[in-house]
Amino acid sequence: MDANDNQPPVAWRYGGDQLKRWRTKADISREKLASAANYSPATIESMERGVRRPTSRVLDVADELCGAQGMLSAAKQFLNRERFPARAQDFMEREKEAISRWSYDLSLVPGLLQTKGYARALIDNRIPPLDEETVEERVAARMERQAILTTRKPPVGLSFVLYEAVLRAPQVDTEQLHRLLEVAALRNVVLQVLPFERAFSDAIMGPMVLLETRDHERFAFMEGAFASELSADPGVVSRVTERLSMIRTQALGPDESARFIERMVDSRE
């Protein structure tokens, strides 16, 4: 996990500081603001310290109480919560521009293929835990990302290779397996399974993604437990391309992979 994921956004801290400055200047007590906005004083304090996002209601109430003439209310548009972890934001921006996307996943179903239930189970069990509002927003953002599967014109070419361990994880229920089969049937998607017996050393080194944008820029993205890297360095992109190509060669073909998943479904029903 990137250290930045544990830090409140700068906009929260700035907004909270301005909230406190205006309140102090107007000689409005924290308790009075809390009562008017229907929050506890402790919650207002956490907003002023930037630990909690100043809400629209608090900003509007404080704006009126403090005579800020719209200066505090105007902050609302800048305080929206980031919908993706800091370490993934650059990658998400590049993904929006992609004309092709190849990926290999070692332990988790990739976000583009997750059901809402699976996504929630992962996001809701982060350490340190996220607050409920953040969980809801990140689940919604993950579901919206999946538009890349069907709505782009021309369609984005998508290739997914899943290590067998991904499918054997306890979070993967029948609904998730059906979702994989549903996506695998799309014309622009290739989904393959790498069985345990076909694994080799490079296949257990971690997940990876290759992107190509409309401008034919190529990026490699490697995500780890504590750090992630998005690179356009030709040497890095070349090495990731070679590794992904080898993994795709060793994986089951698309039809055989679908039968593999179907057998897993049959064994559970």
Q: Is 190 helix (H, G, I), strand (E, B) or coil?
A: strand
Same domain, 213 and 177: yes
Structure tokens at 257: 């992979």
CATH number at residue 134: 3.30.870.10
What is d(CA 37, CA 121) in angstroms, rounded to the nearest whole number? 33
Q: For 53-58, what is the mean pLDDT? A: 87
Same domain, 228 and 200: yes
Burial 3-27 (b: 16+ CB within 10 A, else e): eeeeeebebbeebbebbbebbeeee
Same domain, 98 and 47: no
Same domain, 185 and 52: no
Give the residue numbers spanning the domain of 250. 86-268
Same domain, 72 and 107: no
Same domain, 256 and 181: yes
**71, pLDDT greater than 60:** yes
Q: For 8-33, what is the mean pLDDT? A: 91
Q: Which among 30, 50, 78 is the end of a domain? A: 78
Same domain, 74 and 91: no
Contact by Cβ (8 Å): 208, 220: yes
Overall residue count recorded for the chain in this entry: 269
What is d(CA 145, CA 141) in angstroms, rounded to the nearest whole number? 6
Same domain, 205 and 239: yes
User: Can you say how many angstroms the Cα of residue 213 is from the centroid of all Cα atoms in its chain?
Assistant: 19
What pLDDT does residue 5 have? 47
Q: Structurally, how many domains does the chain consist of?
A: 2
Same domain, 148 and 127: yes
What pLDDT does residue 55 have? 86
Helix (H) or strand (E) holding 165, with range, is helix 164-168
The mean predicted confidence, pLDDT, of the chain is 89
Q: Tokens 């992609």 sit at which residue?
A: 98
pLDDT tens sequence across 147-170:
999 998 899 999 999 999 999 999
Same domain, 253 and 153: yes
CATH number at residue 22: 1.10.260.40
Same domain, 98 and 68: no
The residue among 141, 162, 157, 148 whose CA lies nearest residue 210 is 157
Query: Whole-prediction pTM value?
Result: 0.71
CA distances from 52 to 84, 115, 123, 237, 246 (A): 17, 29, 19, 39, 46
Same domain, 63 and 143: no
Burial 184-220 (b: 16+ CB within 10 A, else e): beeeebbbbbbeeeebeebbeeebbbbbbbeeeebbb
